[in-house]
Amino acid sequence: MVAVRRRIACLLVCAALGGCFYSPTPLAPGLSGSVGVPHRGVLTEGVALPHSGEGYRLLRPDAARWGQQRLIDAIRQASADVARQQPGGAPLVVADLSARHGGRIPRHRSHRSGRDVDLLFYVVTPDGRSIENPGFVHFQSDGLARTNVPSQRFVRLDVARQWLLVRSLLTSSTAHVQWLFVARWLEALLIEYAIARGEDPELVWRAENVLRQPSDSASHDDHIHMRLACTPAEAVAGCIHTGPRWPWLPRPPEPAPISDEELLHALLDD
């Protein structure tokens, strides 16, 4: 308990100073893994997502492809689940995760602590043939998107396979998804499909909570941005949870209040 409280004390001081999470610091030697918050954090002991695997491939060979082990496992397991349940379809196209050591990367304000990934949508041709997503095409409320590919001017959201991906992620015992950022109209298509399919109401309720259009960025009509929640062990090691704590996820430990004297003692005690 003393060690936990010292780490918490260090985190509080880092937050007050406003800069500790851009790089490792001797002030907080016990921090590891996903440290800080997604828009202001670092990553230690990161794992690289292979360029391709069962049911997926990276969009770009130079993509930022590092993350927590849990994030890598979640992507690989969910894409494999979809491929096995609906064989013969095009792979999931995976865009950026995080840099090897976290921190700022091009094109993103978050993705800095190894808990975020952009997943392009599964798509089909208007006549229903599964094809690979040509890259960040914008879907309208009817599920159609215009592409820049002359031979394939329009694609349609593959709602069935997209729901299978969401279901796999939300039913995983280890992924602990906090958010699946997506445009409201695409969330509606997925939820309507799940209800029509007769999915468990509990699972649909989880999806309705987790699928969310962000209020401080683009609508996310061209990809899903997945963010994992901090586990209790990760919270102790420096992962900072923001936003709601979904009742179906493990809760981090609630530390005892720290007085000013205890905080000062923790920082000065060798």
Query: Tell me, what CATH number does 41's domain have?
Result: 3.30.1380.10
Three-state secondary structure string covering the chain = CHHHHHHHHHHHHHHHHCCHHHCCCCCCCCCCCEEEECCEEEECCCEECCCEECCEEECCCCCCCEECHHHHHHHHHHHHHHHHHCCCCCCEEECCCECCCECCCCCCCCCCCCCEEEECCCEECCCCCEECCCCCCCECCCCEEEEEECCEEEEEECHHHHHHHHHHHHHCCCCCEEEEECCHHHHHHHHHHHHHHCCCHHHHHHHHHHEECCCCCCCCCCCEEEEECCCHHHHHCCECCCCCCCCCCCCCCCCCCCCHHHHHHHHHCC
Q: Is residue 2 part of a domain?
A: no
Nearest to 81 by CA among 190, 166, 200, 208: 166
Rounded to 5°, the CA angle 237-233-66 comes to 70
Mean pLDDT of 139-156: 95
> Out of 17-21, 123-127, 161-165, 216-220, which region has the weakest mean confidence (pLDDT)?
17-21
What does the block give as tokens for 220?
A: 């996310």
| Structural domains counted in the chain | 1
Q: Is residue 99 part of a domain?
A: yes
Query: Is the confidence at residue 77, as pLDDT, over 90?
Result: yes
What does the block give as tokens for 162?
A: 């997209």
The confidence score (pLDDT) of residue 29 equals 60
The residue segments making up the domain with residue 81 are 32-250
Query: Is the confidence at residue 270, as pLDDT, over 60?
Result: no
Most confident of 15-19, 164-168, 241-245: 164-168
Q: Which residues contact 134 (CB under 8 A, 6 or more apart)?
A: 123, 147, 148, 149, 152, 155
Contact by Cβ (8 Å): 2, 30? no
Q: Is residue 26 part of a domain?
A: no
Report the C-alpha gap between 252 and 4 in whole angstroms.
12
The confidence score (pLDDT) of residue 146 equals 95
Query: Is the confidence at residue 108, as pLDDT, over 90?
Result: no
The confidence score (pLDDT) of residue 254 equals 66
Of 106 and 92, the structure prediction assigns the larger pLDDT to: 92
Banded pLDDT at 166 (limits 50, 70, 90): very high
Nearest to 143 by CA among 121, 168, 169: 121
Q: Please, which residues bridge with residue 56 across strands?
A: 53, 92
Nearest to 58 by CA among 135, 147, 115, 150: 135
How high is the mean pLDDT of the chain? 88
Q: Is residue 263 part of a domain?
A: no
Report the C-alpha gap between 190 and 172 in whole angstroms.
18
The confidence score (pLDDT) of residue 15 equals 44
Q: Is residue 51 part of a domain?
A: yes
The confidence score (pLDDT) of residue 21 equals 43
Q: Which residues contact 259 (CB under 8 A, 6 or more apart)?
A: none
Percentage with pLDDT > 70 across the chain: 86
Q: Is residue 258 part of a domain?
A: no
Query: Is the confidence at residue 47, as pLDDT, over 50?
Result: yes
Query: Is the confidence at residue 19, as pLDDT, over 70?
Result: no
> Out of 14-23, 54-63, 192-201, 203-212, which region has the weakest mean confidence (pLDDT)?
14-23
Percentage with pLDDT > 90 across the chain: 72
Banded pLDDT at 229 (limits 50, 70, 90): very high
Mean pLDDT of 152-170: 97
Query: Is the confidence at residue 56, as pLDDT, over 90?
Result: yes
Q: Is residue 169 part of a domain?
A: yes
What distances in angstroms separate CA 247 from CA 145, 184, 199, 206, 253, one per listed residue? 35, 23, 20, 10, 14
Report the C-alpha gap between 268 and 149 in whole angstroms.
62
Mean pLDDT of 233-242: 91
Q: What is the pTM of this model?
A: 0.84
Q: Is residue 259 part of a domain?
A: no
